[in-house]
């Protein structure tokens, strides 16, 4: 089973209204721009719908998945056709924007949306773990990003100070 | 001095400078970064499966928890 089968399930769920528009983020999205590495999860970002009590919840989506026979979990992720899928909310303005401005691609014949490389870079900067900084350096060196667009995103989401610190710490690739 | 050196058999190991190594690594990364999407997906799935096998092997050998192995791999 490949990722295309997983994406077909997600697209069906979206077409049937069980989930809103989604986009792939995290390591899988990053590896489509830079040198691929090891990851175990497929991070799927989406706007969660409010439940009857007004709370944002993925419960209706999980109920729909259970109806289709998907009930095996691997830590926080649910197994869908061989991929451990983690459904994540667009919990920050940066993620919301990344979701809105996601790029359409075709993976093994199946349409999907992934975060733009500039948004993934800004998310790395915001998250700020050592592996995120390493990934940000890879984006700069390997993916030919639109640095003007990236810096606009950085400024819009109050990451300018973090970006200045990053440039001072890692001056070589810039 | 020269005579002593010529009498000793020299290993035929190729070496390269750190700069050459850096350039070679950079070229490899650029090549992998530029792969078509579907080829990248194949590679990502192979790496994922290999990672899972490694975690299982660690568990079988009692080399720490799967979670720790998984975290290390994710780096």
A144-170 residue pLDDT tens: 999 999 999 999 999 999 999 999 999
pTM over 0.90: no
The Cα A112–Cα A83 span in angstroms is 15
Considering only CB atoms, which chain B residues are within 8 Å of A142? Answer: 29-30, 33
pLDDT digits (tens, 9 = 90+) for B48-63: 999 999 988 988 898 8
Q: What is the ipTM of this complex?
A: 0.90
Chain A residues whose beta carbon lies within 8 Å of the beta carbon of residue B23: none
Q: Which of B33, B37, B73 sits opposite A38 (nearest CB)?
A: B73
Inter-chain touch A31–B45, beta carbons under 8 Å = no
Helix (H) or strand (E) holding A79: strand A77-80
Distance from CA of B34 to the nearest CA of A (A): 8
Tell me which residue of A1, A25, A23 sits closest to A10, measured CA to CA: A23
pLDDT of residue B49: 95
DSSP A142-155: HS---HHHHHHHHH
Residue B68, φ and ψ in degrees, nearest 5: -65, -45
Contact B74 A27 (CB under 8 A): yes
CA distances from A84 to A111, A148, B2, B49, B52 (A): 19, 35, 64, 12, 12
């Amino acid at each position: 089973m490949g990722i295309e089968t997983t994406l077909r399930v997600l697209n069906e769920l979206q077409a049937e209204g069980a989930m809103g528009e989604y986009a792939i983020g995290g390591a899988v999205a990053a590896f489509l721009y830079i040198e691929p590495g090891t990851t175990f999860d497929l991070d799927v970002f989406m706007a969660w719908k409010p439940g009857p009590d007004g709370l944002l919840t993925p419960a209706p989506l999980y109920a729909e998945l259970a109806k289709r026979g998907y009930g095996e979990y691997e830590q926080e992720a649910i197994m869908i056709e061989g991929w451990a899928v983690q459904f994540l909310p667009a919990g920050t303005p940066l993620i919301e924007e990344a979701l809105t401005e996601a790029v359409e691609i075709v993976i093994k014949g199946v349409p999907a949306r992934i975060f733009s490389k500039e948004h993934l870079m800004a998310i790395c900067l915001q998250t700020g773990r050592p592996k995120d900084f390493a990934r940000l350096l890879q984006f700069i060196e390997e993916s030919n990003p639109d640095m003007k667009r990236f810096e606009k995103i950085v400024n819009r989401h109050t990451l300018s100070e973090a970006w200045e610190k990053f440039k001072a710490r890692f001056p070589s690739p810039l | 001095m020269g005579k002593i050196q010529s009498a000793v058999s020299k290993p035929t190991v190729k070496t390269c400078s750190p700069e050459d190594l850096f350039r070679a690594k950079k070229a490899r990364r650029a090549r992998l970064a530029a792969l078509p999407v579907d080829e990248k997906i194949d590679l990502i799935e192979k790496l994922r499966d290999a990672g899972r096998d490694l975690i299982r092997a660690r568990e079988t050998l009692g080399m720490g928890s799967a979670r720790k192995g998984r975290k290390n791999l994710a780096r």
